[in-house]
Every structure is written in structure tokens, then in C-alpha cells.
Amino acid sequence: MAEAHPVGFQWVMEAKRRGAKVFHVDPRFTRTSAVADTYLPIRAGTDIALLGGVVRYILDNELDFREYVLAYTNAATIVSEQFADTEDGDGLFSGYDPHTDSYVQTSWQYAGHEQDSGSGHTAKERDGAAGLQHESHGAQVSGQTARDETLQHPRCVYQILRRHFARYTPEMVERVCGIPREKFLELARAWAENSGRERTGALVYSVGWTQHSVGVQYIRTGAIIQLLLGNMGRPGGGILALRGHASIQGSTDIPTLFNLLPGYLPMPHHADHPTFDDWVDSIRHPGQKGFWGNARAYAASLLKAYWGDAATPENDFCYDHLPRMTGDHGTYQQVLNMIDGKIKGYFLLGQNPAVGSAHGRAQRLGMANLDWLVVRDLFMIESATFWKNGPEVATGEIVPQECRTEVFFLPAASHVEKEGTFTQTQRLLQWREKAVEPPGDARSELWFFYHLGRRLREKLAGSAHRRDRALLDLAWDYPTHGPLAEPSAEAVLREINGYDVSTGRPLASFAEAKDDGSTAVGCWIYSGVYADGVNQAARRRSRHEQDWVAAEWGWAWPANRRTLYNRASADPQGRPWSERKKYVWWDPQAGEWTGYDVPDFERTKPPTYRPPQGASGPAALAGDDPFVMQGDGKGWLYAPSGVLDGPLPTHYEPAESPMRNPLYGQQANPTRKVYAHPVNSVNPSPPQEHSAVFPYVFTVSRLTEHHTAGAMSRTVSPLAELQPEMFVEVSPELAAEAGLTHLGWAHLISGRAVIEAKVLVTDRLTPLRVDGRVIHQLWLPYHFGYEGLVTGDSANDLFGITLDPNVLIQESKVGTCDILPGRRPTGPPLRDLVDDYRRRAGIVPGERPPTVTTRVRRPAGRSGDGPREKGADHA
Amino acid sequence: MGLRTFIAGWPVYRQLTGTDPLGRGVAAQSGRSAGLTARTETADRVARSVCPYCAVGCGQRVYVSDDRVTQIEGDPDSPISRGRLCPKGSASKSLVTSPLRQTTVRYRRPYSTDWEDLDLDTALDMIADRLLAAREQTWEDVDSEGRPLHRTLGISSLGGATLDNEENYLIKKLFTAMGALQIENQARI
Ligand code: SF4
């Protein structure tokens, strides 16, 4: 955090000054480790084993915050008797279908609700990255459940949790992660001690957790700990994702993502959502508790914002104008389709996949096989010059005279040359004022897309084609101003906020959204950002003039709420858990919730409220159900649906690992997304043979002085001077073993690529003793490429493409490689070297690695196809 | 110069008698540096902005003179950053004023070995034509069972995490109306 989010880290230091204990878990000793109380080096890709150890420690010693856990989580809920745990399946849960490498979730449901399984067969959800829809709300589950308040029932969530994590002992943590048990116990003890009525603990993570084939479950494990310790919805608690780009939270909320529409409404699926009603019901889940019950209003209002006058209740608000998903349309599938010649044109908007995405060679070969490419950026980036300067030009794989891609480079306006909002990492929108006009041909994306749309509509005017209706019906008249005819960003923000169609009055909140076409709302969760016709995101009341919650600085979604689920900061009766951790509470005199923050609860619903029989939506939430976006109002220790790779987190080895999984026969995530394409490959891992061909584990991360793929830092001289060269960090022990010298050259080889780097021999990396053997890890920055003031080979070239099944994010925080002294070959011999390694490793291009590697007979879940074995165990 | 003035101008004296006992502020100031004014003081205007790099969202003040950015400082009012900027945020002025920035449209013809110039308006028109052609060639109206698809898989887009919400809103709206589904950004990565 000190390296990649330095200014955010000041608050960790502030907490430390006030007595907080800081733990840093990282494969490499960084600036964060330097000021932490305790640093724990970890084997990359084993965090679930570490966190699972903490869960076990809490449960074994009964250190959970029992009152919170009983009232606010699903600990007491009873699970179906059809459920079988990984304990019985050697790493597989019940319901695994080996034909699709995915689960049928029926057996995971709450008892008596087996038929409620929202997901059924989850292969389709994986292709649609359905996990992302749950960014703002839980998955489908019935509101009324069987509970055992004594937590003794063998099938209550609490007992299932105990059994599931029983094998994550301190000894096992040491064996899997390489963390000595005393250090582990120090962490577990401190975490538990720092939680309860008087204290709260925070968990901070970043892409070191998400970029894994089992990344969502890393975060789930963190969530289980924080729920057990009562650290959710309370000040100083929470699970904080530190996001890496100025508005990446915004680009998830108002998604430029294939499977989502604004506000986490799903993009419709051709088979599941043929009609508007099918689509809406799949979101609002009739009968379920919580605020998604109003989804029809959010959906209708979005379509009304899109298609204006053309969208009416009679035509289902032009629902048929929406494109339909049929499967996986994610960025990696797209790249493979580009290589296969299926994609004509590609837009890159301030993004540089030639350096920043996994498997850089696949990215560049894909771009070299398009009809046309539009690059909009501040600088001439690698993704615009691959046809001229890319590594594949040197190897002869891309010949400029034979490369057909037509490239348009359009200069973009910088952040000071346009106005608009960024949403930062804590859901806070901050409006930026424009300082100057953009230079030359540089334009904002607002300008480019508005005028592109205008032109497309002009060209199509009078078209009778059905396919052109959606463009011609589009509400696309934004006021423009200035010499460049810049569209008004405030007008767009007002549409995002939503307004009353007849009066034009901006809505005050999403509670005012209607399903009858009388409101238009571009992104319902942002509703309120333009309340009273005032740009709330532009508020800048100084921190010196307001309290520590700083509610008048910018605007946070939803409803300017700074801490989500903050009803949980009060006890079930609505009183603060302690004076010290007071945040939001029930005021019996006034008959309303009050506090420092905007209460995340219906303002006048008393703690004693109990829903009438048969209630649904918000009315079904009891006065002590704080998790208002969840289908049962509870924090989920156990996820009966919504998470595709299991109701509980399980340690699996990364897709590429030198080790056999010490915990289960199942080696890697059995539901991970694998692409069997000739350009893609996975280095062998046990129980496959030849894993020793790639004996070392590598991981990548950021330098303080560079930014992602380098387009905004390798081009900026002060930053380029500070970090001028690509390098690899290795331990003295690995340097001795591999014959590497400090400041000399080395090259690294994976099944995809060879890259070279200067060697930095340093104690910041340490060999780990893991399961009786020594594992060497090495570290690379991933910022370098061949354009800019400072250049170097790209670390992401080393990675193959394997994705997390929930969100289709790639595993690019851990892989295996070999490292040799000296510079890499150039020209065609470079590919020969890769081919030689692939031959030795037995890699057949396009072949899938074995998925199921269990050693015992699996329980036949209701939908499994009976016991069977797959994948021999050579370990 | 009298003796008194000479002594009063002596840094050690000022350090011992003045308000700067550590000698790191006014006591160490020379006549020349005392006469300098900061660019921030002479700016024509100041825009309240936000750092464009990571998602911490540090507040920035952008100082402008003669329609040029002359300085970018941390915003001391911000409850997030309290006026601080990290090396990247501090380099923002160098970013926006970098001589390496491209300010004209560049065009590479198929099979060409070099860039050419192209007028922005022409480029926009050519892109619009290519979009319409790609849609026409790859349009899918319905699936094999006659259910609506209303889409093209011939067009892709990647990016958005460094763009404004308002921009992403228009991008998603326009592409969706085009039937272009394959819209992605860094949040997937
Ligand atoms: S100044 Fe540094 S920490 Fe702050 S937003 Fe910019 S990059 Fe992030």
C-alpha cells in the first residue's frame, strides 16, 4: 500500500501512531513492510490457506463476536442435507459436473430451499462473469430460513464452517504458505484481540488478491473473518479494496463491461431473458428481502434514459434494443477471437493491453489481425505501434508490409482539459473543474463519443433496417459549448442522476425512480449526486470545517453514505456497540436512525420491526437485518449461491505451481476458466509431469514511480528518471543457484515468452521453506514496454490466460518460470528458446491441463454423474 | 549597510532570535529567494481537480497562467489527502505538459510501414463508416430459435478506468445502441 497507494497509506500510519498494529503480508518486503509492526513473507497464491487458518483460530477459540454473529450473519441458518463439503470430496463440493467443470448449486442451498437455487447450473454464469453483479448486492436466496440460535445443529452454517476449516491448522499454514506458525499466531491473535465492542480491525487488499484463478474466494475468506469478528458496517472496520485507477470504481458502477449495464443491472442473456419481465424478475427475485425488490423501477428508468420518448410501457421501454449475451464476451475471449479473425474493429480508450494485459504476445497478434484499430491516448503507446516496433516484428511474426490493420491514433484530452467526475476507491465521486483547453486535435472521450454518435445517426437517417432503430431512437441531444462544441458533462451527470420526465426535476434519490416511464435514471445507484439540481460531487467543504466523516466533500454512492451496512454499527436494539465505536444508532425519542453518517437503513424503521408474513422487498427486512442488499438481510459466512466455485473458500494451488496441493487432492480451482487455444498454454503443475522445467514462482506488482502499463509514467521525465530500467528482484540464494550477478542481465522463460531484465539481488525476497522443500520466488515490475522515455521488456508477456470463474479476471499475480543469466536471444531464435522449453515441459499448444485431480471418490452430489477419477497423481 | 542591518541579515542571528530555530525556513532565506514569488501566487486562476493516477483520489489544485498549466499542487482542504501527493501525483504537471504528448491525429494505412497525417474530422468520418460496415457484416438479429440477439460481435472496445463517469456513460450508451456488446475495461483486468 505504501508503494502503490502512498497517500492513502498516511491513514495507516495515523492509525499506527494511535496504537494500531500493522501487519503486512506480501511475497516481497516493500516500503509497507518497512513500517509495519510485523511482516509476513508468503508464497504467492496461498492467501486462502493463511486466512483459513485465521478462521479456524477464531472458531476453535470461540473468539467470534457472538452477539453480532448471531444477529447479523447467517451463522445460525441451516443448510440442506444434500450439501457435501470439500472435506468429503478431497477438494470438491457436492454438485460438481465434470462435463462443464462447474457446479450445480442445488445442494448448497439453505434447508428447505433447495429449489430456490438462483443459479442452477453455473457454467453459464461463469461465461457471463455473473459474480460481478453482486458488487452491490447479494445473490438470490429466500428470505425466510430455518435457524438454530444455539449454533449446535450439525448443519448450521457455524458448524459447517468449523468442519470446513478444521484442517487449516497453524502447522498447515506453515506448510502451505511458508509462514512460521509463531508469526501466524501473532497475526491471528492480534486480529481477534483488535475486534469486538470496543475495537475494530480493517482489511485492505488490492489486485494481489483479485488477479488469481480463485481471487473472489480470497476476498470471501477475508469477509468471513470480518463478519466473525464483527468488523463490517462499523467505523474502522470493513474490507477495503484499493483500486488502481482514478475512476476504475466508476467504470465498474457505470460499466464499460460486457456483462453489465449501469448500476449492476445485468446485460440480458438471450436464453434467460427473452422478455423485459424475465429480465427484471431475474434481478428482483420476487419474494426476496431487500432493496433489489424495486429493480423494475431501476431497469425501466435506465431504458427511459437510453431511449427517451421512444421508450414506453407498451413497448417494454425498448427492451428489444438491448444486445444479448450468449456466452463469454470478455476481453480475453475477444483477443482470441481477434487472432481467429472474427473481430473487425477495436477501440482502445486510455488503455494499453500490449503491456498491461496478460499474455502480451496474444494481445499484439490479435491487434495485428484486425480490419481497423482506434487508439485514443495521451501518448504514442505500444498498443498503437505493435505493427512497427513490437517484439513480434523482431521475431518476424508480424511483418509490417503484411499487417493489414488500419490504425487511427486520436490524441486525448488530459484530466485538466475536461470536466467530469472520477469515482475513487471508496465510492466517492469528485468533480474536476476544467483548467485549460486540450491542445491541437486532442479531445475528451465525451466529445469523441458524442460527435461519433451524432455522425452515425446522421448517416443512418431514414434507414429502415431493424438494427438501426436503437441508434435512431437513442436520446442523444446533449447541449454543447465552447469553440470545440464540447458536450456538457453536467448535463450527462444530471441524466445519470435521473429526473422526472415531465418536469425535468432531478431526482433526490433512487427511491423516487418509477417503473411507469415517468422517470429516467442513467445509473440508479448514483441517484442523488445531482439532487436539487446541485452538482453534489463538486462539493469541497474543507476538512477543517467539518467532522471526520467529511460528508460534504464530494458525494458517495449510495445516498452519500460513507460506510455501507452501517446499521451494523449499532446492536440489535439499535444502541451503539460501545461509546468508542459509536457511528449510527436508533434515536427512540425522534423515532429515527441517526448518527455521523447517512444511516444505511430505512430512516424510521425501528429495531423492533418484524415483517408481516409474506412480505418481500424492503418491507421484508426486519429492524435488525443490517445487510439490506442481501436476499436474507444477513452477512454471509456461507454463500448458498452467487459464488460459482463454492459456498466456502478452499485453498487451491495457482494454475501454475511447483507444488502439489498439501490440503486436498484437488490441485487447482476446478471451475477456473481455461481457454484451449493454440496461442495459450499453461505451464505444467503437479500432478502433471515436468513441472520442474519451470521451477521458480514469479509475481509482479507496481513501483511507486510508475503507473500500470507505463503510458502515463514512462513518458513523464521525472518519473522515468526515478525508475529508468526493467529489473528482476531475486534473493541471494536464488542468485547463487541460478548463477545471477547483481546488476548483470538475466532472462526469464515461461511457456509463452522470454523477457530480459537487469538483476537486483536483494534480501527483500527470501526463499521459503514449504512442505519440506525450498521455493524461490522472484519479483518483477510490470510497467515496461518498448515506447516512452524508458523502455524494457514487459513482465505480463510471461503470463498465460487462466481466469477466475466468478468475474473472469486473469491470474496474473503468480506463475512459474525459469531464469538464466545473460541477455535473451533476439530475432527468430527467441521463439526457438520458448519452443524448446515447451517441448521439454510437454506443453501441447491448445491443450487443457487436467481439471479434476482428486484422489478419492467424490460424493455423488445430486447432480454429479457419480464417482470417477480423472488425472493421475504422480506427486 | 549598517552593522545592525548586517547582523540582522546574518542567518545564524536570525535563526537564534527569530521564529525559525531549526534554520530551515525564513532564517535561511536569502535576499534573492525572499524576492521570489511562487507560480501559485501569480496564477490567473486555479481549478479544483483530482489526481489522474491511482484510485486514492487525492485532491489537486491546478494553477493556470496565460491559459497554460504552470503548477499542480495537492489540495490541503481534501479530507482524503490533506494536501499530499505521491511522486506520480506530484508529476501531474509534467504529465499534462509533456513534450511527448501527441496532439495531432496519426493514421496508419493497411500494410504501410509508417504513419501519415489525417484531419480529425476526416478521421471521425472514416471511423463512423467503418463502424457501420462492421455492424452490417457481423450483425446478428436472432438466435437459432428466433429469440432476439440484436448485436454485433465484430466490434470490441477496451478502456474506461481513467475516464470520467460521464464519458463512460456515453460510451456504454452509444455502443449498446450500436449493438456492440464487447465493451470492456481495466476493471476486468
Ligand atoms: S497522488 Fe499518488 S496516491 Fe494520490 S491519487 Fe495520485 S497516484 Fe494515488
Looking up residue A357, the CATH number of its domain turns out to be 3.40.50.740
Give residues (CB < 6 A) around ligand 1: A 5-7; B 51, 53-54, 56-58, 81, 85-86, 88-89
Residue A867 pLDDT class (50, 70, 90 cuts): very low
**pLDDT of chain B, 189 residues: tens digit per residue:** 566 766 766 777 777 777 777 777 777 777 777 778 888 888 999 999 999 999 999 999 999 999 999 999 999 999 999 999 999 999 999 999 999 999 999 999 999 999 999 999 999 999 999 999 999 999 999 999 999 999 999 999 999 999 999 999 999 999 999 999 999 999 999
pLDDT tens readout for residues A152-167? 999 999 999 999 999 9
| Of B59, B78, B96, the domain-final residue | B96
Task: Tell me: do B46 and B112 sit in the same domain.
Answer: no
pLDDT tens readout for residues A667-714? 999 999 999 999 999 999 999 999 999 999 999 999 999 999 999 999
The residue in chain B having the minimum alpha-carbon distance to the alpha carbon of residue A716 is B95
Between chains, do A344 and B137 touch, taking CB under 8 Å as contact? yes
- For chain B positions 5-64, those within 8 Å of chain A (CB to CB) are 45, 47-59, 62, 64
Task: Tell me: do B120 and B183 sit in the same domain.
Answer: yes
**Rounded distance between C-alpha atoms, residue A525 and residue A165, angstroms:** 36
Q: Which atom of ligand 1 is nearest to the CA of B56?
A: 5
pLDDT tens readout for residues A824-865? 999 999 999 999 999 999 999 888 999 999 986 555 444 433
Domain that holds residue A411: 331-420+436-467
| Of B71, B96, B121, the domain-final residue | B96
Residue A24 is classified by DSSP as: E
Q: Is residue B114 part of a domain?
A: yes
Q: What is the mean pLDDT of residues A640-655?
A: 96
Task: Quickly count: other Cβ atoms within 10 Å of residue A488's Cβ.
Answer: 17
Confidence at residue A860, expressed as pLDDT on a 0 to 100 scale: 46
Q: What is the mean pLDDT of residues A193-219?
A: 95
Q: Is residue A864 part of a domain?
A: no
pLDDT tens readout for residues A497-506? 999 999 999 9
Task: Quickly count: other Cβ atoms within 10 Å of residue A764's Cβ.
Answer: 18
| Closest to A101 measured CA to CA, from A645, A650, A671, A665 | A671
Q: Which residues are CB-contacts of A579 (< 8 A; sequence separation ≥ 6)? A: none
Q: Is residue A126 part of a domain?
A: no
* 8 A C-beta contact, residue A816 and residue A681: no
pLDDT tens readout for residues A539-555? 999 999 999 999 999 99
Q: Is residue A456 part of a domain?
A: yes
Task: Tell me: do B146 and B184 sit in the same domain.
Answer: yes
Establish how many alpha carbons lie within 13 A of residue B64's alpha carbon, considering only the half-sphere containing its beta carbon. Answer: 18
Q: What is the mean pLDDT of residues A433-460?
A: 98
Task: Determine how β-strand A815-821 pairs with β-strand B45-50.
Answer: unpaired
Cell digits for A47?
A: 492467501
pLDDT tens readout for residues A3-15? 999 999 999 999 9
Cell digits for A412?
A: 486525448
Cα A557 to middle of ligand 1, angstroms = 21
Give me the residue from A417, A424, A492 closest to B56, CB to CB: A424
Task: Tell me: do B68 and B133 sit in the same domain.
Answer: no
3-class DSSP assignment, residue B148:
strand
Q: Is residue A187 part of a domain?
A: no
Give DSSP secondary structure letters for A218-240: HHHHHHHHHHHTT-SSSTT-SEE
Q: Is residue B30 part of a domain?
A: yes
Confidence at residue A857, expressed as pLDDT on a 0 to 100 scale: 56
Q: Is residue A29 part of a domain?
A: no
CATH number, domain with residue B89: 2.20.25.90
Domain that holds residue B8: 3-34
Ligand 1 atom 6: residue of nearest CA: B89
Residue A19 pLDDT class (50, 70, 90 cuts): very high
ipTM of the complex: 0.95
Confidence at residue A741, expressed as pLDDT on a 0 to 100 scale: 98
Between chains, do A719 and B68 touch, taking CB under 8 Å as contact? no
Rounded to two decimals, the pTM is: 0.94
Cell digits for A185?
A: 499466531
Confidence at residue A125, expressed as pLDDT on a 0 to 100 scale: 84
Task: Tell me: do B28 and B45 sit in the same domain.
Answer: no
* Residue A267 with chain B: CB contacts under 8 Å: 181
Ligand 1 atom 4: residue of nearest CA: B58
* Residue A713 with chain B: CB contacts under 8 Å: 88, 91
Residue B52 is classified by DSSP as: S
Distance from CA of B40 to the nearest CA of A (A): 14
End-to-end CA, chain A: 37
- For chain A positions 190-249, those within 8 Å of chain B (CB to CB) are 211, 242-249
Q: Is residue B120 part of a domain?
A: yes
Cell digits for A434?
A: 476544467
Mean of pLDDT over chain A: 94
Task: Tell me: do B134 and B166 sit in the same domain.
Answer: yes
pLDDT tens readout for residues A507-535? 999 999 999 999 999 999 999 999 999 99
Confidence at residue A116, expressed as pLDDT on a 0 to 100 scale: 67
CATH number, domain with residue A799: 2.40.40.20
Dihedral Cα A650, A864, A810, A430, nearest 10 deg: -80
The residue to mutate among B50, B53, B162, having the most atoms of ligand 1 within 8 angstroms of its beta carbon, is B53
* 8 A C-beta contact, residue A349 and residue B163: yes
Q: How many domains does chain A have?
A: 2
Q: Is residue B101 part of a domain?
A: no
**Rounded distance between C-alpha atoms, residue A814 and residue A657, angstroms:** 8
| Closest to A625 measured CA to CA, from A111, A52, A107, A147 | A147
Q: Is residue A7 part of a domain?
A: no
Q: How many domains does chain B have?
A: 3
Q: Is residue A733 part of a domain?
A: yes
